[in-house]
Amino acid sequence: MLPAVICASCRARFLLFAALVLGSFSATPGQGTEQPSQIRPLGPPGVPAQFFPLPRRPVAGIVAEEWATEEARDRDGEAEQIMNFLGVGPGMSVADLGAGAGYYTVRVAKRVEPTGRVLAEDVVPATLWKLQERVSREHLDNVTPVLGEPHDPRLPVRSVDLVLMVHMYHEVAQPYGLLFNLLPALRTEARVAVIDLDQPTEQHGTPHALLLCEFHSLGFRQTHWGWMRGKSEYFALFKPPAQPPKHEAIVPCSQ
């Protein structure tokens, strides 16, 4: 059973989107808007977005690169307890989707050394540039930034044992495409872990019933679910389907 995470004062849940934008324009001279060559999609393109149904619920905007301060989350023991529960250890290949500022990326990278790796995926190039600078400063050579698309994580085929989706699922504009195009990247016995708030997507959460419906529509099976931080935040774990569905047969869910 997943240990309860004790609630602490989590300040700065959501930073203004303007701060992120301004941060991206305070780059060093000559950086411009071109993405560094090392930050790019790593996997082949999947099924295009137009072949999937649109979600029948609001999609939250990306307003910050971190959900709460890392200090507050560490005081709660969040990453430590989650990694212990998931058995994150040396040699594992982990994808951190919506990696943001890298809270899980840097902690998982240290756990999976020396032979494991972390694929830190995001759809915002400026966020990945900043994350690349961070992992370089911290000498985390086993982290690879990956530029994804809202409907496609663009991960290498059969490349990951574990996928983390932490406080980002409500921001996914095309959840059916994302989950469908994620499937080829999963190795045998791979798992997908989701952490989110149990509230409407327009309030930057994902109701648990909605999460279940959307994952079930792709054939995923929930293997664990539990509360965190005083029954406001949850942890859900899924196993992928043995036989992926046909994308044209996906039926969208309602919030």
Average model confidence (pLDDT) for the chain? 86
Q: Is residue 13 part of a domain?
A: no
d(CA 33, CA 126): 8
At 67, the pLDDT band (50, 70, 90 cuts) reads low
pLDDT over 90 at 47, yes or no: yes
List residues bridging with 236 in a β-sheet.
194, 225
What is the mean predicted confidence (pLDDT) over 231-245? Answer: 93
d(CA 209, CA 88): 27
d(CA 253, CA 255): 7
233-239 and 160-166 strand pairing: unpaired
DSSP string for 4-15 = PPPP-----SS-
Q: Is residue 255 part of a domain?
A: no
At 68, the pLDDT band (50, 70, 90 cuts) reads confident
Q: How many domains does the chain have?
A: 1
pLDDT at 26: 33
Q: Is residue 153 part of a domain?
A: yes
Q: Is residue 47 part of a domain?
A: yes
Q: Is residue 218 part of a domain?
A: yes
Dig out the tokens for 19 from the structure.
């701060």
pLDDT over 90 at 190, yes or no: yes
The stretches of 138-189 forming alpha helices (DSSP H) are 175-182
pLDDT at 69: 86
Cα dist. 232→21, 171, 175, 195, 253 in Å?
29, 18, 22, 11, 22
For the chain, the first-to-last Cα distance in angstroms comes to: 28
Q: Is residue 34 part of a domain?
A: no
The stretches of 9-112 forming alpha helices (DSSP H) are 17-24, 70-75, 78-86, 103-112
Q: Is residue 7 part of a domain?
A: no
Q: Is residue 98 part of a domain?
A: yes
For residue 146, give its domain range.
40-249
pLDDT at 216: 96
At 255, the pLDDT band (50, 70, 90 cuts) reads low
pLDDT at 2: 52
Q: Which helix (H) or strand (E) holds 222?
A: strand 221-228
Q: What CATH number is attached to the domain comprising 59?
A: 3.40.50.150
Q: Which residues, other chains included, contact 197 with Cβ-Cβ below 8 Å and sequence gap of 6+?
A: 167, 203, 204, 205, 206, 232, 233, 234
pLDDT over 80 at 241, yes or no: yes
Strands (E), 70-206: 93-97, 117-122, 143-147, 160-166, 186-197
Dig out the tokens for 139 from the structure.
């000498």
53 backbone φψ class: left, alpha, beta (φ>0; ψ -120 to 50)? beta
Nearest Cα residue to 170 out of 142, 208, 137, 133: 208
